[in-house]
């Protein structure tokens, strides 16, 4: 048994992506951000659907051709494959912990 | 965008299972318990692997031929297919909210 809020990485110069589970096309990740955002130019364009939830912290996800979504603890959304998106902001004062399911 | 801690069912005579996501063999559920436990006789024996996390509340999962696992907020574990298990206890004073990934 493991706790998703524990054993946070000490160094967060970059966002940290950890695979919790992988089987076939399924990948479940813990992502830890601390003030990080996506590069200011360009968008993520993923080949798989992604279901993402903020477990702790605060973040803003921007979908291209859509709008900004402000997420706090417990907020989740689906980002369909090839929906261009980026993380515009995460709160700098503490770690934002995400659970992401790629499927 | 939806919040996993909100819109809890008013009536919890039984545990409530809600499918958040389903695609092929993948199913993601929110489960809400409030003092519920599995039937005292018999064990769950699932054909799929299950990854389960407690988001809020407290619970005990018992694996047959293994031991009891006490889970609080953020604790997660994998229950491999055909591992006989049951939920022995959930805290009666408040809702226990689970995220379960069947894969």
| Torsion A13-A72-B23-B8 (CA) sign | positive
Per-residue confidence of chain A (103 residues) as pLDDT tens digits?
999 999 999 889 999 999 999 999 999 999 999 999 888 888 999 999 999 999 999 999 999 988 999 999 999 999 999 999 999 999 999 999 999 999 9
DSSP assigned state of A48:
S
The mean per-residue pLDDT over the stretch B59-69 comes to: 94
pLDDT of residue A94: 95
Confidence bin at B78 (pLDDT 50/70/90): very high
Looking only at the bridges linking them, the beta strands covering B2-3 and A75-79 are antiparallel
Chain A contact probe: residue of B29, B49, B55 with most A CBs at under 10 A: B55
DSSP assigned state of A77:
E
Nearest chain B residue to A71, by CA = B1
pLDDT of residue B38: 85
Cβ-defined contact of B4 to A69 (cutoff 8 Å):
no
- Confirm if B34 and B92 have CB atoms less than 8 A apart: yes
pLDDT of residue A38: 85
Nearest chain A residue to B4, by CA = A74
pLDDT of residue A95: 97
Q: Which of B3, B77, B103 sits opposite A1 (nearest CB)?
A: B77
DSSP string for chain B: -EETTSS--S--SS-EEEEEEEETTEEEEEEEESS----SS--B--SS-EEEEEEES-EEEEETTS-EEEE-TTEEEEE-TT--EEEEEE-SSS-EEEEEEE-
pLDDT of residue A4: 98
pLDDT tens, position by position, B10-61: 889 999 999 999 999 999 999 999 999 888 888 999 999 999 999 999 999 9
Between CA A32 and CA A38, with CA B4 as vertex, the angle to 5 degrees is: 30
pLDDT of residue A3: 98
Question: What whole-number distance in Å separates Cα of residue A35 and Cα of residue A32?
Answer: 10
Contacts of residue B76 in chain A, CB cutoff 8 Å? 1-4, 20
- Confirm if A2 and B72 have CB atoms less than 8 A apart: no
Question: What whole-number distance in Å separates Cα of residue A70 and Cα of residue A88?
Answer: 10
């Amino acid at each position: 048994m493991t706790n998703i809020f524990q054993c946070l990485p000490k160094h967060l110069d970059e966002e940290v992506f950890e695979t919790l589970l992988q089987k076939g096309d399924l990948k479940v990740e813990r992502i830890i951000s601390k003030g990080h955002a996506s590069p200011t130019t360009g968008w993520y364009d993923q080949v798989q659907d992604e279901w993402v939830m903020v477990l702790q912290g605060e973040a803003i996800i921007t979908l291209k051709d859509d709008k900004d979504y402000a997420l706090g603890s417990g907020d989740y959304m689906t980002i369909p494959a090839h929906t261009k998106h980026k993380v515009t902001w995460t709160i700098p004062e503490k770690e934002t912990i995400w659970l992401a399911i790629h499927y």
